[in-house]
Amino acid sequence: MISYMIRVFIIFSFALLYSEQTHLLPHHISYKNILGYDSKVGKVYEWHDISRYLQELKIKKFNQPNRGLSIRWLGTFGFELSDGTTSLLIDPFVSRPTPKEQFRPLHIDTDAVNHYVLRQGNNSTIKAVLVTHSHYDHIQDVPYILSQYLDNGIQPILIGNKNTEQIIQSYNKSDISWIGPNNSLEKIQIYVTDFSSKENAHNQWNIGRFKITAFQGLHPQYDFFSWRGPSGLIESTPPFYVWDYKLNHNESIGFLIEYGGLKIYFSDSPFIQNPKNIGKVDILIQTIASREMENNIAECIKVMEPIYYIPAHYDNFFKPLDEFSTFDPVIGFGFPENIFGDTETHLIDFAHFDSFITEFENEYKTQSTELRLLKLLYYYSIESLVLKK
Ligand SMILES: [Zn+2]
């Protein structure tokens, strides 16, 4: 009897282990050869190797660090900012369709969203979803995330622009199975940003202990094209094709998020309009892809004086996170190579991460005396960024 129980136990354990491995866990992603940078030390591969020589940089304004304030990367420009009670999502994107799937109507990978974003239903802390712009790599997963709050009355609010609202309303009317007969997106509170007046007061929200301010921005032009992606109003119905995710007036919203004196700015563009209006921040998280045609990263660092700079949107988002065992900093637009099986060569690398490190060393770090370039790791405890006296 005992040996029978042991055998059942072993089989059960293997089954558990196997089910865990169907999705890679954050610490399984290898960041080998992905550089970080410290203005005093230079290039850094592994922070823990040098941390004993370095005095930690201090975020001075963060007077009362709240234990547990954390930031989690959710693919591309996706983040979760959380203090354990209130969580905000910014552009969560884990569906990551492959190049071949880009030519078909896009389906949300609900499995991946459940695992990486909703953490198998443990989602009651998500109070707001912020969308910078309505391209699929920023908004694709949002309708499904919002639809998962039907019965419990704790739906997060949604902040975005006109097209973001249109995508949600269009999903709500669709017959996609997880929308359900009761139109699960019907009651979502959507706040559409309005930059028509100079006052930014109506583009501000207090959510838990977070204060959010939206700033008008412009989507970057793609490298080698002077084009910002499909634009216009959303007219089609879901499931959408890649090209149905249009931009409203080429707009991309930047979000300033304040928490207990700490200021974090999220810019999904390497060009920030009027950084002086935003002012000084502690952490600047910025898209570095498509910065060939226009970027003002050096000016942003000079004016906004971040202590930590986290480059974002340079992962190869044509690869599902499950296959992302080694961080791949090449957004290689592989068409048509991948289609015919000739992988390895890329027509365009929208990230050009290697040259970013050189640019950082030569142009950006000189704008500031103390600056640290963090790798786009899967998880930061913000507490760990604050120097303890
Ligand atoms: Zn993008």
Distance 303 CA to ligand 1 centre (A): 25
Q: Where are the domains of the chain?
A: 55-385
Distance 6 CA to ligand 1 centre (A): 50
Supply the pLDDT for residue 286: 95
Distance 230 CA to ligand 1 centre (A): 12
User: Which one-letter DSSP state was computed for residue 247?
Assistant: B
Distance 352 CA to ligand 1 centre (A): 15
Supply the pLDDT for residue 129: 98
Question: At 72, which amino acid appears?
Answer: R
Cα–Cα distance for residue pair 327/11, rounded to 1 Å? 33
Supply the pLDDT for residue 73: 84
Supply the pLDDT for residue 351: 82
Distance 252 CA to ligand 1 centre (A): 10
Distance 139 CA to ligand 1 centre (A): 10
SS3 281: coil
Answer for the pair 93, 134: CB distance below 8 angstroms, yes or no.
no
Supply the pLDDT for residue 9: 52
Structure tokens given for 252: 């991309």
Distance 203 CA to ligand 1 centre (A): 22
Nearest C-alpha neighbor of 122 from the set 62, 82, 162: 82
Supply the pLDDT for residue 387: 39
SS3 266: strand
pTM: 0.86
Mark 1-27 as b/e (b = at least 16 C-beta within 10 Å).
Answer: eeeeeeeeeeeeeeeeeeeeeebbeee
User: Which one-letter DSSP state was computed for residue 220?
Assistant: P
Residue 47 has, within 13 A of its CA and on its CB side, a CA count of 16
Distance 107 CA to ligand 1 centre (A): 18
Beta carbons within 10 angstroms of residue 357's beta carbon: 16
Distance 283 CA to ligand 1 centre (A): 20
Q: Where are the beta strands (DSSP E) in the chain?
A: 36-38, 42-44, 70-73, 79-82, 87-90, 126-130, 157-160, 190-192, 204-207, 210-218, 251-259, 262-267, 283-287, 308-312, 332-333, 348-349, 372-373, 379-381
pLDDT averaged over 10-residue windows placed end to end, the chain, 389 residues: 57 45 57 76 71 55 58 88 91 91 93 86 84 96 90 83 96 91 87 85 92 93 78 91 92 94 93 95 92 92 91 88 79 57 63 86 82 67 48
Distance 24 CA to ligand 1 centre (A): 23
Residue 302 has, within 13 A of its CA and on its CB side, a CA count of 9
| Cis omega (within 30 of 0) for bond into 275 | no
Cα–Cα distance for residue pair 173/169, rounded to 1 Å? 7
Domain 55-385 part of CATH 3.30.465.10? no
Supply the pLDDT for residue 151: 61
Supply the pLDDT for residue 31: 72
DSSP track, 57-99: P--TT--SPPTT-EEEE-STT-EEEE-SS-EEEES-------T
Cα–Cα distance for residue pair 203/193, rounded to 1 Å? 6
| Cis omega (within 30 of 0) for bond into 336 | yes
Supply the pLDDT for residue 340: 52
Distance 10 CA to ligand 1 centre (A): 45
Cα–Cα distance for residue pair 385/389, rounded to 1 Å? 13
Distance 318 CA to ligand 1 centre (A): 12
Which residues sit opposite 210 in a β-bridge?
207, 259
